[in-house]
Every structure is written in C-alpha cells, then in structure tokens.
Structure 1
Amino acid sequence: MARLGFARKLASADRCLFGTWVKIPALEPIEILADAGFDYIVIDQEHAPLTFEFAYQATVVAQGAGLSVLVRVPDRSGSHLQRLLDAGVDGILVPRVTSVDEASAAVRQMVFSPGGDRGIGITSRAGRWGGLDRAEYLRFGDEEVLRAVQLEERAAIEAVDDILDVPGLNGVFLGMGDLQLSSRLPSADPQLQKLVDKLLSAAEARGIPAGTAVQTAAQAREAADRGYRFVMVSNDTSLLRSAASDLRSQI
C-alpha cells in the first residue's frame, strides 16, 4: 500500500491537522505522542540539540507508529535538506526565511532536477533502499513531501504574495513569537493581526496550507477556525513540565 505523504494528507483532510514539537533526544516520547493521537510531530533542530542521527531514528519510530514527521532544520543554509529527505521525512520547515530569493534557494534544494537541485538517492530510505519504482520515488518527492518556509519577520509577511509564488513551495508557517519580537507588537495588536490575515489570505488564494504554533488547546481550536491547516500545540518538554508541575502542586 502506497504511503500517504503529508502534503497530500493536508490536501485531503477535512480538518486541521494537529502535531507537536519534539525537543527531547529520546524515542520514548515519540511513542507516547503517537499513542496520544497526534497527527504528526515536528523534530526541532533549530531550538533543540537534536542531531541528524536522532532525527533519522525518530523518523523511523514515528512513521512506524503512524505519525507523519516534519523536521525544522537548524537554519536556512540548506546543508541539512538532502540527507533529511533521503531519510524519508514527510516534510521540512525552513526557518527565518525573509525574501523571495531565500525561499527559492531553499525550495530548489527540495525539488528534483530539472525543476530544482535535489539529487536522486533512490537507494536511500526514501526510495525504500532501491525497492521503490523510480517514477514513484520522484513523484512522491515532488508531490507529497511538504516544503514549507517559516515567515517570522514583518518584511517577509509583507512580501508573502511574492514568496508564496515561488515554484515548488507547498507550505508556509507563521512564526508568531519571532514576528512579535521583530515587530515589537503584541499578538493582539491590530497591525499584527492584519499581517496574519494577509498571510492566511495569500495562502488560501493559492491553495497552500498555512501552519503555526500555539501553546494551548483553546488556541489550537482558534487557529483551526481561523484557517490554519496544520498547527503545532505545545512541545514534549512543556507537556512534561506542565504535568510534573500540576502533580507536584496537587501533592
């Protein structure tokens, strides 16, 4: 049975998909998150000390448990993209993208030639160690892997129409925390909310799923109602801390 890629899951889902960040370099939390019923995880290499080796192992365990796996790479340099795609991840989030040129450079490295610069690696895990038909391997990589950029600065969101027109881009993520930091505006400020509306409208007009991250279940429901198609809720370290703190306060 053919595996359903994350981009196609987003396109076919009749609801927002909910995931959470993985920051703990251990496999047990991933199994727990799968048992809890999350749709996907995001392995956070930008804000956690997670190696490529761990990301590889976590991908195998998570997908085996029924989770889709996205990876937020450490930076926008592109040095990690080829190996993660060869490892069979379901999607990539490229952080701190601020312009059309940066978005284009990142996306090209995730799209096979001649449309992009990704090299063929059919004997990798993504190609089922050479067992996957070549045409299917290429089709899956180009059509079903999520290639998303994170827009986290005011200037980037003001240029969102041009950025989302980059060929091969099929996902966008709003980094609200850094947007507040760079704009010096609180989340409820009308100017900031106008930028959010601009991003969501641009994404909807192009059929590109938009994602974001929140801390609570109520915020996750609000994000889904607003039009986000994939939402990360909290993270493994915060979930553990919250549960531990609640238990200790009860004691």
Structure 2
Amino acid sequence: MLHARACRVDTGATAVPKCPRRRSRRGAVHPRAGRPSGSASLSVFREPYDFAERLRAGETILSAWSCLPGRHVAQLLARAGYPAVTLDMQHGEHDFASVAATIPAIVAAGGTPVVRVPVGEFATASRAVDAGAAAVIAPMIDDVETARRFVAQIKYPPLGERSWGPASAMALAGVTDPLGWLETANRATLAFAMIETRAAFEGIDDILAVPGLDGVFVGPADLSIALSNGAHVAPSAESTHAAAAKIAAAARAAGRIAGYFAPSVEDARTAQAAGFTFISLGIDAALIAEAGRAKLAAFEAGA
C-alpha cells in the first residue's frame, strides 16, 4: 500500500493520487505522530525511524533524491510530503559535513533520511548510520565479498563489525537505552546493495543471500548500459524493466526489500507493479526546474 504522505507528492508529471492517511498502531491519524518507546523491540524507534518495518510489511515508500548540498532543499522536500529523502554522495554534491547537517533537518520535517555513499566507501557508510541515516545504499556491489564488506560496516556483531558510536543516531531516533539500541539497530538500520552491473545481475541470488543485507536497489540507467554492453542508456526501456522485474522477484523470494530509482511517475508505477516497495521519484534539481518552468508557463499563458 502506498504511504499516505507519498500520495501527495507533486512530481510535475502525472499526479500521484491522494489516498487516506496511514493510521498508526496506537490509532493516531497524524502521519508524523511519534510512537511510544520500548526496550528490546523496534518500538524503541519513533517515526520516521519505523522505515524498516514499514518496508518489510510491504508498504510502498517514495523517496526524493537529493543532490544539492545543504539542508534547506532536502528539508523542504520532506515538508512537501516525501516520506524519505535520499542524500546522494556518489553523483550528488553532498559531502559528509552536508550529510551530517541534513539528516537532522529531514527528521525534524518528518522524513526518513537515507544516504547513498560513494563507490567502495564503506567507512563512510558507517559514519552515515552513526549520524542517523535509517538506510544506506552502496553503489556498484558486484559480488558476495563486496556485499559482505559493506554489511560489516552497517551492522553490529554478530552480523557485522560496526563500531560503537551511535549518540547522534540514538538522539534522532528517540532512544535513550544503549542496550535497546544495540538489540534493535541491526534490524532497524537498512543496508541496500545497488544492482547495476552485469556481474551483479547474474549473481543476484548469491548477493541476496549475504547475511545482514536487507535489500537491493536497482539503478536502471547503469543496468541498461551494462546489459547492452554499452550500446545504450535506456532506464525506461521495456528490456530494462524486464531485467528489474527479475531482480524484484529474486528479492521477494529471498525475503529481502527491493528498491528502485524511477526516472518518471510511469517508471515508478511499473516498478511498484513489479514488486519494488522503496522507490526514488524526483531529483531535487529537476523538481526545482520543473516547478520554475510550470510557473513561467502559467504566467505566459495568461499574458
């Protein structure tokens, strides 16, 4: 089911239909209402840090994609209704200082912070979750060994080797009990491996079997380049959607979450129909440009 806040996003293209507000487990209808603290269960995490369990329950959650550095635009996207905002350190302009400043701003606006780290920078992934990221996306994960090295930096023992230093993350999640955090953080903090190369596509079942890996995230542009041997970049092509659907099916079979970078509303709907539940829709710079063009066109139409 599509998250209620996701249903209100204006993408500048085909409108995502409105739908009823999601009701919390305690019966409150406000989509940003907090949840009571507990101990050794995921109830120790207040919204928006219930992200992991909502995805595991099959809820579709949309994320804005943030490339512009600084907290202001990312926070505005969360306030606009995006349930999650992904900060891009790979192709975007966010460095770690920008990420550390922007994560609390997203949370303050009621959104869930996600970070995509640069290729191979798994130490940065560890810093991102310590700063409060609810999920980390690691690009260009081609094989089992690389996936294991990534997971090791995201998860505490016995799943990984994450070092202890979660003060910022605990504060943002509303957790005061260190043991409660330790007992639940591995399940509540998500590790996504990007599947965007031929090697990853062909080895998807082995990658999905890595302990501690919560899901995969498809980059359709790179995947289309890889599967065509460099003949084209076609993220919206039928062949790309067909390959992505196989990845989603493999993720479901393995009990993992399937994520997707959707270039358009139509691509997002196709991805959702294929079984993807964590879907990126809308890049900050493009959304600003679309809004500007629409405003100018509206003025000129009345001239």
Percent identity of paired positions between Structure 1 and Structure 2: 29
Is 2:254 the counterpart of 1:203? no
In structure 1, give the amino acid aligned to 2:259: G
The alpha-carbon distance between structure 1 residues 163 and 154, as it changes in their structure 2 partners (threshold 3 A), is same
Matches within 5 A, 1:188-227: 188=237, 190=239, 192-227=240-275
Aligned length: 248
Question: How many angstroms apart in 1 are the aligned matches of 2:200 and 2:294?
Answer: 39
Instruction: Determine the structure 1 residue equivalent to 2:66.
Output: 22
In structure 2, give the amino acid aligned to 1:207: G
Question: How many angstroms apart in 2 are the aligned matches of 1:33 and 1:131?
Answer: 25
Paired residue secondary structure (2:154): coil
Per-residue deviation at 1:16?
1.1
The alpha-carbon distance between structure 1 residues 131 and 63, as it changes in their structure 2 partners (threshold 3 A), is closer
193-202 or 180-189, larger mean C-alpha shift: 180-189
Which residue of 146, 169, 187 corresponds with 1:126?
169
Matches within 5 A, 1:137-152: 137-152=181-196
The alpha-carbon distance between structure 1 residues 102 and 59, as it changes in their structure 2 partners (threshold 3 A), is same
Paired residue secondary structure (1:97): coil
Q: TM-score, normalised by structure 1?
A: 0.91
Paired residue secondary structure (1:119): coil
Per-residue deviation at 1:65?
1.1
In structure 2, give the amino acid aligned to 1:12: A
Give the greater-gyration-radius structure (CA). 2
Render the CA deviation track for 1:47-85: whole Å, top value 9, x for unaligned: 112111111111101011110111000122312022111
RMSD: 2.0
Matches within 5 A, 1:24-63: 24-63=68-107
Question: How many angstroms apart in 1 are the aligned matches of 2:196 and 2:156?
Answer: 27
- Contact 1:109–1:116 at 8 Å: present in 2 too? yes
In structure 1, give the amino acid aligned to 2:67: K
Matches within 5 A, 1:85-96: 85-96=129-140
Question: How many angstroms apart in 2 are the aligned matches of 1:182 and 1:217?
Answer: 24
Per-residue deviation at 1:99?
0.7
Per-residue deviation at 1:218?
2.6
- Contact 2:132–2:168 at 8 Å: present in 1 too? yes
Instruction: Determine the structure 2 residue equivalent to 1:66.
Output: 110
Instruction: Work out which structure has the larger RCO, using CA pairs closer than 8 Å and 6 or more positions apart in sequence.
Output: 1
In structure 2, give the amino acid aligned to 1:76: G
Question: How many angstroms apart in 1 are the aligned matches of 2:270 and 2:131?
Answer: 34
Question: How many angstroms apart in 2 are the aligned matches of 1:72 and 1:28?
Answer: 18
Question: How many angstroms apart in 1 are the aligned matches of 2:238 and 2:281?
Answer: 22
In structure 1, give the amino acid aligned to 2:287: L
Which residue of 215, 219, 232 corresponds with 1:175?
219
